[in-house]
């Protein structure tokens, strides 16, 4: 008689669970189905927040696993990914014998810690071949870079990520894979324009908190799952794992807030705000606006109960203010989290000096773009356009006292718009434009659309007709320039992405625009928070002026 090889030795009969986890929690009689769909009770529950309807097989915990180790491969570098032609997150889930991967590192999952918790994932990894995974290698290090001098090895026990251990992630191989994907892929692309580096402030202040937070690791798992789902072309509503991750993250967050209500609230407020703001960003990046607005209201209430933004440390306050401006600019709305805050007053100090290459047309400067060509690496035509845009934008944001200010701004915008429309860019007609030509053409198109919005008192999201085609042309031209090149002039790139963002929708193109606009603002902020906030505030003030003057025209 042939016996099937199994990596999970069994000495006793398995006892099946008779109720799903949600019905157990609610102490309800559960009637579950064999087709994998939710049970009768869970199928009738409200769709939000989603609940996890799962039925696990329990087994006696008396087994001895003899130090079994489950190894999962992770390419060590982008070159290794390219050599093997495989995405970073794929780790042979089809159950076949794992092929040799050049320059790869391996995640070792220790099954001795809690073998039951790894059952489903490890069985899936080995299904079909019947061979245990026995490769060996170097454990990954949880700093996103593999530097063993900073944090201890992962070792497969997810609870070790959170030293407090209060609401630790479930200990599964899939969660281990997602967490490493978050650190290796999601994090760099959340804080760097080209995903190639991470600001020192982030590495010093934010990433250590994420790893040691009692709540955030579950949110990181959600962000990793969402990213993988969309990168593979699967919409979120079609991915059960993403719904389960979201439910888990919300459940952990609710438990943490319930604890805060029973203790000193202000002591828990910073942790709650930092966690929820990541949920806001996740929902906004990937198009779930209704959920994003609900999280925004939650943060607003927490800030109010804690006594205002001034009670938070500068890094948290800076991230909150930056994110508030980014979402408001992207949706052309009023601010949400800064009602009555000093950052809205007219006396906000605008920086007068900044790092080389950080210049932007969104705030005034004593140094023109034309005189800064060597540092920016742009053409003279592009510099002239940027100088004109700076003059137009600051004429709105500086709010001079003359009574004919509106007429003067509209007259200047009309003149500039006519000049842009009649001037032909060499980059738009050449058979094979250079990178410098493409940058000039991108700046020209962004200026054309932004100026039209001002001259016609029409928000960018409401531009129609041939101007929709110009928005698409702006996006296409911008994409022909490498992100590494745009990273050299983040202030200019931020203005271009701010022009594109209000027209974005929940598709692949729109998600890219939203993400890169927010990442650019955040990367500038991590270098200089007042500068990043001033750039975003300048664009937002122009949007608010357009909206006010447009309503005034309708009322008049």
Kindly state the tokens that stand for 383: 């510099």
Confidence of residue 245 (pLDDT cuts 50, 70, 90): confident
Side-chain-side CA neighbours of 104 within 13 Å: the count stands at 26
When pLDDT is cut at 50, 70 and 90, the band that residue 69 belongs to is very low
Q: Taking a C-beta distance cutoff of 8 angstroms, is the pair 279, 219 a contact?
A: yes
Residue 119's pLDDT band, with cuts at 50, 70 and 90, is very low
Q: Is the pLDDT of residue 14 over 90?
A: no
pLDDT band at residue 91 under the 50/70/90 scheme: very low
Query: Distance (Å, rounded) from C-alpha 398 to C-alpha 494?
Result: 20
pLDDT at 334 over 70: yes
Q: How many CA atoms lie within 13 A of 439 on its CB side?
A: 23
Q: What is the pLDDT of residue 121?
A: 34
How far is 273 from 298, CA to CA, in rounded Å?
A: 9
Higher-pLDDT residue of 70 and 536 is 536
Of residues 150 and 417, more confidently modeled: 417
Residue closest to 92 by CA, chosen among 194, 173, 184, 1: 173
Helices (H) and strands (E) in the chain, counts: 23, 4
At residue 16, the pLDDT reads 57
Contact (CB, 8 A) for 341 and 334: no
Q: Tokens at residue 327, please?
A: 């979402």
Which residues lie below 8 Å from residue 196, measured CB to CB, with a gap of 6+? Answer: 188, 484, 487
Tokens of 403: 């009574």
Q: Which is more confident, 163 or 47?
A: 47
What pLDDT, in 10s, does the model give residues 450-485?
999 999 999 999 988 888 889 999 999 999 999 999
Task: Report pLDDT for 423.
Answer: 78
How does DSSP assign 61-98, residue by residue? TT---TT-EEEEEEESSHHHHHHHT--TT---TT-SPP
Stretch 151-168: mean pLDDT: 45
Query: If you average pLDDT over residues 105-119, what whole number do you get?
Result: 36
**pLDDT confidence of residue 1:** 44
DSSP-assigned letters across all residues of 184-253: IIIHHHHH-SSSS---HHIIIIIHHHHHH-SSHHHHHHHHHHHHHHHHTT--GGG-HHHHHHHHHHHHHH
pLDDT tens per residue, range 514-551 = 999 999 999 999 988 999 999 999 999 999 999 999 88
Digit-coded pLDDT (tens) for 196-214: 888 888 888 888 888 888 8
- What integer pLDDT is reported at residue 340 of this predicted model? 63
Q: How confident is the model at residue 166 (pLDDT cuts 50, 70, 90)?
A: low
Percent of the chain with pLDDT over 90: 31
| 50: three-class secondary structure by DSSP | coil
CB 59 within 8 A of CB 12: yes
Count CB-CB contacts under 10 A for residue 44: 8
**Mean pLDDT taken over the chain:** 75
- Longest Cα pair distance anywhere in the chain, in angstroms? 97
Contacts 24+ apart (CB under 8 A), 544-553: 544/334, 545/396, 546/453, 546/454, 546/457, 546/458, 546/459, 547/332, 547/459, 549/406, 549/457, 550/457, 550/458, 550/459, 553/457
pLDDT at residue 322 greater than cutoff 80: yes
Which pLDDT value is given to residue 43? 79
Residue 363 scores a pLDDT above 90: yes
Give residue 113's pLDDT band: very low, low, confident or very high (50, 70, 90). Answer: very low
pLDDT at residue 155 tops 60: no
**CA gap 502, 505 in Å, rounded:** 8
153, pLDDT greater than 60? no
Better-predicted residue by pLDDT, 424 or 304: 304
Q: What is the pLDDT of residue 378?
A: 93
Q: Distance between CA atoms of 182 and 207, rounded to whole angstroms?
A: 11
Q: Is residue 471 within 8 Å of residue 504, measured between CB atoms?
A: no
**Looking at per-residue confidence, does 348 or 503 come out higher?**
503
CA distance 431 to 428: 9
384, 469, 329, 290: CA torsion to nearest 10: -170
Res. 94: pLDDT tops 50: no
Closest alpha carbon to 178 in 238, 220, 146: 220
The whole-model pTM stands at 0.70
pLDDT for the residue 260: 65
pLDDT at 151: 34
């Amino acid at each position: 008689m042939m016996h099937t090889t199994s990596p999970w030795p069994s000495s006793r009969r398995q006892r099946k669970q008779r109720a799903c986890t949600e019905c157990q929690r609610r102490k309800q009689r559960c009637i579950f189905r064999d087709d994998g769909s939710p049970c009768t009770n869970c199928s009738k529950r409200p769709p939000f927040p989603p609940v996890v309807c799962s039925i696990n097989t329990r087994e006696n915990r008396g087994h001895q696993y003899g130090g079994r180790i489950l190894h999962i491969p992770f390419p060590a570098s982008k070159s290794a990914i390219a050599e093997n032609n495989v995405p970073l997150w794929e780790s042979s889930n089809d159950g076949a014998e794992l092929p040799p991967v050049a320059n790869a590192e391996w995640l070792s999952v220790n099954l001795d810690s809690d073998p039951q918790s790894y059952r489903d994932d490890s069985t899936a990894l080995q299904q079909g071949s019947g061979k245990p995974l026995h490769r060996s290698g170097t454990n990954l290090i949880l700093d996103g870079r593999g530097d063993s001098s900073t944090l201890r090895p992962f070792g497969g026990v997810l609870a070790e990520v959170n030293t407090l251990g209060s609401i630790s992630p479930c200990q599964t191989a899939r969660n281990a894979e997602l967490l490493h994907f978050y650190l290796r892929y999601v994090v760099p692309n959340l804080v760097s324009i080209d995903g190639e580096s991470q600001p020192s402030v982030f590495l010093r202040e934010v990433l250590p908190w994420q790893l040691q937070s009692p709540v955030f690791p579950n949110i990181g798992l959600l962000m990793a799952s969402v990213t993988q789902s969309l990168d593979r072309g699967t919409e979120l509503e079609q991915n059960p794992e993403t719904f389960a991750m979201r439910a888990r993250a919300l459940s952990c967050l609710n438990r943490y807030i319930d604890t805060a209500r029973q203790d000193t609230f202000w002591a828990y407020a910073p942790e709650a705000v930092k966690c929820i703001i990541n949920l806001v960003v996740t929902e906004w990046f990937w198009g779930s606006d209704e959920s994003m607005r609900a999280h925004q209201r939650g943060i607003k209430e927490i800030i109010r109960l804690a006594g205002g933004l001034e009670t938070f440390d500068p890094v948290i306050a800076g991230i909150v203010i930056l994110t508030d401006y980014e979402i408001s600019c992207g949706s052309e709305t009023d601010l949400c989290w800064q009602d009555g805050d000093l950052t809205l007053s007219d006396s906000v100090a605008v920086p007068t000096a900044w790092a080389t290459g950080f210049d932007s047309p969104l705030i005034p400067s004593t140094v023109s773009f034309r005189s800064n060509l060597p540092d920016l690496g742009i053409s003279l035509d592009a510099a002239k356009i940027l100088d004109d845009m700076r003059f137009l934008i600051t004429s709105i944001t500086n709010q001079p006292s003359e009574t004919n200010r509106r007429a003067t701004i509209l007259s200047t915008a009309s003149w500039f718009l006519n000049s842009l429309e009649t001037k032909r860019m060499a980059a738009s007609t050449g058979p094979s434009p250079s990178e410098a030509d493409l940058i000039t053409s991108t700046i020209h198109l962004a200026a054309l659309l932004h100026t039209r919005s001002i001259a016609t008192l029409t928000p960018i999201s409401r531009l129609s007709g041939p101007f929709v085609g110009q928005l698409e042309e702006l996006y296409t031209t911008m994409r022909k320039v490498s992100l590494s090149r745009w990273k050299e002039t983040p202030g200019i790139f931020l203005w271009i992405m701010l022009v594109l963002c209000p027209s974005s929708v929940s598709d692949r193109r729109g998600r890219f625009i939203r993400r890169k606009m927010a990442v650019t603002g955040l990367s500038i902020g991590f270098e200089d928070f007042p500068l990043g906030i001033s750039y975003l505030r300048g664009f937002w003030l122009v949007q608010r002026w357009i909206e006010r003057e447009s309503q005034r025209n309708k009322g008049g």
